[in-house]
Structure 1
């Protein structure tokens, strides 16, 4: 049984989580998260901790940001888009139990201490920003780091808030130029 409560978007996500692990969930019911749901999330975070596990799409990112603002110190699980894709639909509900277990095994915890080792210049030198292929490179680096896809500014924020070390960053970059 996972100690923390997993915050997901809907009932289908809850069903997918329960096929993979034994855990309690809170459903946001989409991006229009009500005050009652936010209060339950805050209480769960204080008592047991929470894991935010939203779809790897724009709406999922929006929900992740809203929930994280109300739950300081929460954990984040990320699933690559290709593991959540089925017939034109992207969502946690499409992921295999193994993919869900792997994402939950590679949790990241956000911190307010932004004294991380990765700098904006590091992203620029790595071709993750201001580069013709920056989006693809961030997608692959985000998978390797377990922080998901994000635009340049958000990618940098994740590197610092999840305390990605310089060595983790450099390891994730290995082979990017070979298309790997």
Structure 2
């Protein structure tokens, strides 16, 4: 059974997500390399940073280090995990996606990540249905507005359920955000 990590792991690209998820059970956020400076990644990561913490796991190359520096400027208390260049190189391509499972786990352990023992799932599909966030005509719009209000971005129903629980969003915080968007929508 994979170890479950509390913090959100921040990586550069989609292949990195696959490599990390093969190693551990964790929420992984992709910043799309240097595009992190142009897109909304920083805003989306703020809630995760404040509620769960971040672990930055970028490639062991110049671009990866530049992205790491940029993220550390915005999130000074983020933990940093490093897979050494020699353990993340394949055919002269350096990247987390090339690392072995055990090397990724070791890097995360050395970053002093927090392993979750028990999952505390406050939110369920029944709650999402009750609030009209799934299986209703305007569910898409409500999820989009709620995601923006909570600072977790748009999600489909399954992703929303996962984010609400994994980012440790309280029911009170959820209801306040929901009531705010409902007043705007109504």
TM-score range, shorter chain: 0.5 to 0.7
User: What residue in structure 1 maps to residue 82 of structure 2?
Assistant: 78
User: What residue in structure 2 maps to residue 11 of structure 1?
Assistant: 14
Q: How many Å separate the matches in 2 of 1:31 and 1:22? A: 26
- Three-state SS of the structure 2 residue aligned to 1:93 is helix
User: What residue in structure 2 maps to residue 27 of structure 1?
Assistant: 30
Mapping of 1:62-141 within 5 angstroms? 62-107=66-111
Supply the RMSD in Å over aligned alpha carbons. 1.3
Q: How many Å separate the matches in 2 of 1:75 and 1:42? A: 14
Q: Cα deviations across residues 26-57 of structure 1 (Å, max 9, x unaligned)?
A: 10101121341111122211010000000000
Q: How many Å separate the matches in 1 of 2:73 and 2:45? A: 11
Greater relative CO (CA pairs within 8 A, separation 6+): 2
**For the Cα contact (< 8 Å) 1:28–1:37, is it kept in 2?**
yes
Q: How many Å separate the matches in 1 of 2:72 and 2:89? A: 24
The structure that has the greater radius of gyration is 2
Q: Runs of 4 or more off by more than 4 Å in structure 1?
A: none
User: What residue in structure 2 maps to residue 60 of structure 1?
Assistant: 64
Q: How many Å separate the matches in 1 of 2:48 and 2:74? A: 11
**For the Cα contact (< 8 Å) 1:86–1:94, is it kept in 2?**
yes
* Structure 2 segments unaligned to the other structure (5+ residues): 114-186
**For the Cα contact (< 8 Å) 1:9–1:27, is it kept in 2?**
yes
Calculate the TM-score normalised by the size of structure 2. 0.57
User: What residue in structure 2 maps to residue 45 of structure 1?
Assistant: 49
Q: Cα deviations across residues 49-83 of structure 1 (Å, max 9, x unaligned)?
A: 00000000000000001111111211000111010
* Structure 1 segments unaligned to the other structure (5+ residues): 110-180
- Three-state SS of the structure 2 residue aligned to 1:2 is coil
| Alignment size in residue pairs | 109
